[in-house]
Amino acid sequence: MRLVTIKKRQEARVPETGQIAPIHIAFLLFDGFQPIDLAGPWQAFVSANEESGQVRYRLATCGAADVAATAGDGLRLQVDRGLAESLAADIHTVMVPGGEGVHRVARTPEVLDWLRAADAKAQRTCSVCTGAFLLAEAGLLDGRRVTTHWRSAALLRRRFPALQVSDELIYSESGKYWTSAGVTAGIDLALMLIERDCGRTVAQRVARRLVVPWRRDGDQRQYSQALRAQDRAGAPFSDLMDRVLSSPSHPWTIDEMADLCHMSRRTFQRRFTASFGVPPRMALSRLREEQGVGRQKAS
C-alpha cells in the first residue's frame, strides 16, 4: 500500500519583522482514525498560514507507531513523531481525530498516559467526532459540556455519565477543552480556533479558500430537524410526523397530535419527549424556524 508522509514544512511566506511565535499543534494518530478528521483541520491551519502571510501554526502528527492506517486500511500515513518525542517538544494544542479505531486505542495505557501528559502541557485540547471518547477515557472531560457525532452521542453519554453530552452542537468549548461533531465539523472547529488566534479576517479568508460556510455557530444543530424527526419517528409517531412535515404551518395542537397517535394528552407528551428528546412544542418551533414558517404555538 502507498505510504503518504504529511509534510511539516508549511508553504507560507514568513515576514522578516513582526513575526509572532507559531502555535504548535500535535495531531494524535492511531490505526482506524477517520482521515477527514485529520485532513480537514490540518488544511484549515495550513491555509491560515498562507492567508496570514506568516507561519502561525506548526503542525505535526504523533503516535505510538511509525505508521497509522485509516479506517478500512485504505490509506497509511507516516507519523512524524513518537509519543515520547512529541512530549519533548512544545505543544500548544492537542487534536484528537475520531474513527472506528478510537475504542481500541482507548484501551492502550501508553496512549492514555500520553494524552494526560500532553494535556498538562497544552493550552487547548481538542477532539473531532468520536475522538471525544478517547479524551473521556483519559479522564479529561469529566463535568464538561461536550459533543460528538450525533450517531455516537447516546453511547458517549452511557459510557461516561459524568459528561454533559450535547448531541446537537457543531462544536463545544468548555474551558481549554474543545469537542466537535463528525466529518466536516472539524473544519468548523479549526475556523473558530483560527479566529481566536489570527483574527476574524484571516478566518474568513480561510473559509472562502476552502469553500465552506463562514461560519457555523457552535450551537447550530448538526442536522436538520426534519431529518431528526424522520430518523426518530418510529411507531407510533411515523404517521404524525409525515403529516406535520408536510403541513408545518398548520396550527397543530397537542390534543390533535395526541388523537392522531391514539393517546391521551399526558401520555403523548411523555412518550414524544422520550422519543425525540424535546417536548412537542419545542419540536414544532424548531421545525417551523428551520423551514421559514411563521411560529405558531400549539395549545
Is residue 297 domain-resident?
no
Rounded to 5 degrees, what angle do the CA atoms 298, 256, 235 make? 105
Pair 113, 234 in one domain: no
Give the range among 174-188, 195-209, 212-226 with minimum mean pLDDT: 212-226
Do both 107 and 14 map to the same domain? yes
Neighbours of 259 (CB within 10 A): 14
Q: Is residue 298 part of a domain?
A: no
In a domain, 219, yes or no: no
| Chain segment 204-223, per-residue pLDDT in tens | 999 999 988 765 554 445 54
Structural domain boundaries enclosing 25: 3-210
Same domain, 45 and 165: yes
Regarding whether 182 and 71 lie in a shared domain, the answer is yes
The string of DSSP letters for 142-186 reads TT-EE---TTTHHHHHHH-TTSEE-TT-SEEEETTEEEE-STTHH
Residues sharing a CB contact under 8 Å with residue 293, sequence separation 6 or more, in sequence order: 248, 249, 287
pLDDT at 9 over 70: no
Q: What is the mean pLDDT of residues 83-110?
A: 96
Q: 17 with 140, same domain? A: yes
| Mean pLDDT to the nearest integer, 8-20 | 43
pLDDT of residue 246: 79
- For residue 175, pLDDT over 60 is answered with yes
Q: What is the predicted pLDDT for the residue at 17?
A: 35
Give the span between the Cα atoms of 1 and 245, in whole angstroms.
48
> Up-side HSE of residue 67: CA atoms within 13 Å toward CB?
10
In total, how many domains does the chain have? 2
Res. 38: pLDDT tops 90: yes
pLDDT of residue 299: 44
Dist CA 22 CA 239 (whole Å): 56
pLDDT beyond 60 at 1: no
Mean pLDDT of the chain, nearest integer:
85
- In a shared domain, residues 62 and 193: yes
Q: Partners of 57 in the beta sheet?
A: 23
What was the pLDDT predicted at 290? 64
Q: Is residue 49 part of a domain?
A: yes
Q: Which amino acid is at 263?
A: M
Q: Is-above-0.75 flag for pTM?
A: no
Q: Does some domain include residue 215?
A: no
Rounded mean pLDDT, 88-99 = 96
Among 4-8, 74-78, 153-157, 288-292, the minimum mean pLDDT is found in 4-8
In a domain, 185, yes or no: yes
In the chain, the largest separation of any two C-alpha atoms, in whole Å, equals: 74
Same domain, 51 and 77: yes
Round to whole Å and give the CA distance between 255 and 238: 17
DSSP-assigned beta bridge partners for residue 177: 125, 174
Burial of 274 (0-12, 13-18, 19+ CB in 10 A): exposed
Tens digit of each residue's pLDDT (9 = 90 or more) over 117-151 = 999 999 999 999 999 999 999 999 999 999 999 88
Q: DSSP letters along 247-299, please?
A: -TTS---HHHHHHHTT--HHHHHHHHHHHHSS-HHHHHHHHHHHTTPPP----
Distance CA 257, CA 236 (A): 11
| Contact (Cβ atoms closer than 8 angstroms) between residue 44 and residue 187 | yes
Query: Do 145 and 275 lie in a common domain?
Result: no
Residues 6+ apart with CB under 8 A from 10: 46, 49, 50, 55, 57, 58, 59
Residue 275 placed within a domain: yes
pLDDT tens digits, one per residue of 41-72: 999 999 999 999 999 999 999 999 999 999 77
| Listed ranges 2-6, 116-120, 183-187, 278-282; the one with the highest mean pLDDT | 116-120
- The confidence band for 274, taking pLDDT boundaries of 50, 70 and 90, is confident
**pLDDT at residue 289 greater than cutoff 70:** yes
Q: What is the pLDDT of residues 218-270, one digit of tens each?
A: 444 554 455 455 555 566 787 888 788 778 889 999 999 999 999 999 999 99
What pLDDT shows up at residue 6?
46
Together in a domain, 56 and 90: yes
Which helix or strand (DSSP H or E) is residue 57 part of?
strand 57-63
Query: What is the percent of the chain with per-residue pLDDT over 70, rounded to a whole number?
Result: 83
Q: Give the number of other CB atoms < 10 A from CB of residue 46.
A: 17
What average pLDDT score do residues 283-296 get? 69
Residues 233 and 205 in one domain: no
284 pLDDT band, cuts 50/70/90, is confident
